[in-house]
């Protein structure tokens, strides 16, 4: 059962007559559960044909509007619907129960919801878990794995800044200076570019001390992570999400 | 598409070691002329590449080639191809790439002059245009070092010219992750084809100018990415199989422009190219496990003219350096194939049958590489009037073959996989024959900020 917060709301009827009603926990829970289901199943909006079993039904976009109109606190929408939905998706993915496209559809559904929540991020009514800066290291152009990690971390409630591919240490440092306390993720796929991680990690640690740096990619492992002074290596996106969640909980 | 008929039209003729249009190299390899040779692919160990490490880089390549050829000589090899698949820095700085070719060629020449061991270098520069997003496929400054390395590298001893070009990748990366068949057809049969025409007309002109061999281009960044994603269970294997077939229409363009083979080892679309065009092909299978996993370990060998591995790092194993160990593995595989050829058609048929049967029904990507399926799909790949129609027809034929094997129970796939097939079929069937209509249909669905149509001549 989802928690709820009692709050008066205003319904607008066709005859323009207004009245105030009390929304109860049950109503709120129904909306949040529907939103969770929409995001988990990748239902972006009513027009979206995917998934076929929800054809014609409200999607994440409409349900978020309904939730806001029902007076549900934006932070609750994020924490009790969107993040758990993406958490379920991540779990299914790591258990090989769904493919990437289903996960991406869920991310898009979450994105459709976030459009309506954006003003609340700006005003500070919603707080993310933190900022995560990610990029493929200098000399390397591979980004499929990096994109998956970025998407999963965003889905777990972090604000993600994706610097793209072929990213040098100065760009990481500059972005870190703009976003104090952010965590950094580095990706590499080549044995000749993984070595660039070392320089980037050492520059970051020197210029922005106490920054946590995660690394990932086919040629790297925990030993390499320790050797270059990074903080964590994850072989998959879910591992990175779990590590970041522990950081927040600590 | 220029090819309207198959050069090899029966599965029995789609065999290892024999191609309708063999390629004769400078030192005398006859690739596809009745025997299979090893093609060794190698790379540096973990290290940075900058001016302060150039000498170390040179030393590694010298050590690799000397070690590999020494082992090949010891094993009485009939000839070897060495693939120099450059790392980005070696194409960005053609001086570096050219110097490595010179070093490799000096060793090749030494073993040829002193021992009669024939070896040739396949030169594979990087497609640097990927550094820019959106990519400037036709006007990028990165084209200059790429073409410079081709030209100076071939003069330095790189006789077989290849590349893994990336035209259309701006669209295909997302299409792969979304399993979007229509976008994959757009990426490969519209953008990829046009970029291949642009790039390979230039590569072939250079090769012709110096009497070198324009060998071919593989859809590594497309179909192999799909294969690796499927191995990780990120996308369905059925989708990866479809992507492989779609990729044929872009890879065949190199041959249309004048490439003669051997097509590059990481192109598992090679058997289709061989059937359609008659060129010899290089293939890699279980021997590629040092760099990536695959479901095609044995079946990939079934019609190979060069048998290859994938980039193996120059690191020490108990037996010796890893490239030397791989040289030995390739040589023993090749010996087996050549012994079957020597023994006659009954033996080649049995060996091929075993190579095929051992993998065929374990994965849809293997299934489509069985010679009878290659021929069946290839017929569909050439029967239309446009690359788009051919890509669609080939992919639908592959889906038919996959579904038939599911219905007979010969292949088993999870419900997660099979549930996707109707959607793939529906998407493919919605693709029109006409390219203009298809482009008009697709553009509203694509993010046009990610690619520049004019850079593809559109």
pLDDT digits (tens, 9 = 90+) for B134-185: 999 999 999 999 999 999 999 999 999 999 999 999 999 999 999 999 999 9
Q: Are B171 and B193 in contact (CB under 8 A)?
A: no
Contact between A168 and A203 (Cβ < 8 Å): no
Task: Give B303→chain A minimum CA distance, Å.
Answer: 30
Least CB-CB distance to A101: which of B130, B177, B233? B177
The mean pLDDT value for B403-407 works out to: 98
* pLDDT tens, residue by residue, A118-161: 999 889 889 899 999 999 999 898 888 899 999 889 988 899 99
Residue A49: per-residue pLDDT = 85
**Percent of chain B topping pLDDT 70:** 100
Q: How far is B235 from chain A (nearest CA, A)?
A: 5
pTM of the model: 0.91
What integer is the mean pLDDT of B69-97? 97
Bridge partners of B160? B122, B213
B248 has a pLDDT exceeding 80: yes
Taking contacts as CB-CB distances below 8 angstroms, the residues of chain B near A148 are 177, 234
- Residue pair B80/B36 in contact (Cβ under 8 Å)? The answer is no
What is the pLDDT, as a whole number, of residue A23? 57
Per the model's pLDDT, the better-predicted residue between B419 and A248 turns out to be B419
Mean pLDDT of chain B: 97
Q: What is the gyration radius of the CA atoms in chain A, in angstroms?
A: 20
Residue among B135, B178, B182 with most chain A CBs within 10 A, to mutate: B178
Partner residue opposite A141 with nearest CB, options B130, B179, B229? B130
* Element of type H or E holding A131: strand A131-136
Give the pLDDT confidence score for residue A13 in this predicted structure. 37
Tell me the pairing of strands A7-12 and A18-23. antiparallel
* Complex confidence, ipTM: 0.90
Average confidence (pLDDT) over B93-111: 98
Q: What is the DSSP letter of A58?
A: -
In this structure, the number of other CB atoms found within 10 A of the CB of residue A147 comes to 22
Put simply, whether B179 touches A (Cβ < 8 Å) is yes
Question: Low-confidence residues of chain A, pLDDT below 50?
Answer: 1-21
Tens-digit pLDDT profile for residues B322-355: 999 999 999 999 999 999 999 999 999 999 999 9
């Amino acid at each position: 059962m989802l928690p709820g917060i009692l709050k008066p709301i205003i319904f607008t009827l066709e005859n323009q007559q207004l009245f105030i009603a009390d929304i109860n926990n049950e109503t709120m829970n129904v909306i949040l559960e529907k939103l969770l289901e929409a995001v988990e199943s990748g239902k972006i909006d009513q027009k979206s044909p995917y998934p076929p079993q929800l054809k014609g039904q409200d999607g994440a976009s409409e349900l978020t509007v309904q939730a806001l109109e029902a007076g549900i606190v934006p932070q609750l929408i994020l924490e009790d619907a969107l993040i758990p939905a993406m958490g379920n998706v991540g779990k299914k993915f790591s258990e090989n129960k769904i493919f990437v496209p289903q996960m991406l559809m869920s991310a898009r559904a979450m994105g459709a919801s976030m459009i309506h929540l954006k003003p609340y991020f700006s005003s500070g009514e919603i707080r993310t878990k933190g900022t995560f800066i990610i990029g493929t290291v200098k000399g390397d152009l591979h980004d499929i794995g990096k994109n998956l990690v970025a998407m999963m971390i965003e889905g777990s409630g972090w604000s993600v800044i994706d610097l793209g591919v072929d990213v040098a240490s100065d760009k990481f440092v500059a972005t870190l200076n703009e976003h104090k306390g952010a965590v950094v993720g580095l990706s590499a796929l080549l044995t000749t570019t993984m070595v660039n991680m070392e320089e980037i990690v050492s520059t970051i640690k020197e210029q922005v001390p106490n920054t946590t740096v995660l690394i990932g990619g086919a040629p790297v492992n925990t030993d390499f992570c320790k050797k270059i002074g990074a903080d964590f290596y994850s072989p998959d996106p879910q591992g990175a999400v779990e590590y970041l969640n522990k950081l927040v909980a600590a | 598409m220029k090819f309207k008929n198959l050069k090899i039209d029966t599965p029995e003729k789609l065999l290892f070691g024999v191609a309708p249009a063999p390629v004769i190299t400078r030192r005398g390899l006859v690739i596809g002329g009745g025997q299979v040779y090893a093609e060794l692919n190698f790379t540096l160990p973990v290290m940075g590449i900058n001016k302060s490490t150039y000498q170390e880089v040179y030393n590694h390549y010298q050590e690799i080639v000397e070690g590999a050829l020494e082992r090949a000589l010891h094993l009485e090899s009939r000839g070897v191809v060495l693939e120099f698949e450059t790392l980005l820095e070696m194409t960005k700085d053609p001086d570096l790439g050219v110097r490595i070719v010179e070093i490799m060629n000096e060793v090749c020449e030494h073993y040829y002059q002193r021992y009669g061991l024939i070896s040739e270098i396949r030169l594979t520069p990087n497609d640097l245009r990927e550094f820019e997003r959106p990519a400037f496929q036709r006007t990028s400054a990165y084209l200059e070092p790429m073409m410079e390395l081709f030209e100076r590298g071939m003069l330095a001893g790189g006789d077989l010219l290849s590349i893994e070009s990336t035209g259309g990748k701006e669209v295909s990366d997302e299409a792969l992750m979304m399993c979007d068949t229509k976008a994959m057809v757009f990426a490969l049969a519209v953008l990829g084809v046009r970029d291949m025409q642009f790039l390979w007309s230039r590569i072939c002109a250079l090769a012709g100018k110096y009497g070198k061999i324009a060998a071919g281009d593989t859809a590594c960044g497309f179909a192999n990415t799909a294969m690796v994603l499927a191995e990780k269970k990120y996308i369905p294997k059925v989708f990866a199989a479809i992507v492989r077939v779609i990729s044929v229409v872009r890879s065949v363009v190199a041959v249309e422009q004048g490439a003669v083979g051997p097509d590059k080892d990481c192109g598992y679309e090679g058997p289709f190219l061989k059937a359609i065009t008659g060129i010899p092909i290089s293939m890699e299978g279980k021997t590629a496990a040092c760099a990536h996993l695959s479901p095609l370990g044995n079946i990939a060998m079934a019609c190979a003219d060069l048998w290859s591995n994938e980039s193996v790092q120059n690191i020490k194993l108990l037996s010796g350096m890893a490239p030397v160990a791989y040289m030995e593995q390739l040589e023993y595989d090749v010996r087996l194939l050549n012994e079957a050829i020597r023994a006659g058609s009954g033996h080649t048929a049995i060996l091929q049958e075993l190579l095929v049967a051992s993998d065929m029904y374990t994965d849809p990507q293997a299934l489509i590489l069985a010679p009878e399926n290659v021929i069946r799909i290839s017929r569909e790949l050439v029967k239309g009037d446009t690359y788009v129609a051919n890509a669609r027809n080939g992919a639908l034929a592959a889906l038919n073959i996959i579904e038939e094997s599911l219905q007979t129970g010969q292949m088993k796939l999870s419900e997660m996989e099979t549930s996707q097939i109707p959607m793939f079929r529906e998407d493919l069937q919605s693709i029109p024959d006409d390219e203009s209509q298809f482009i008009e249909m697709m553009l509203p669905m694509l993010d046009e900020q990610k690619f520049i149509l004019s850079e593809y001549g559109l």
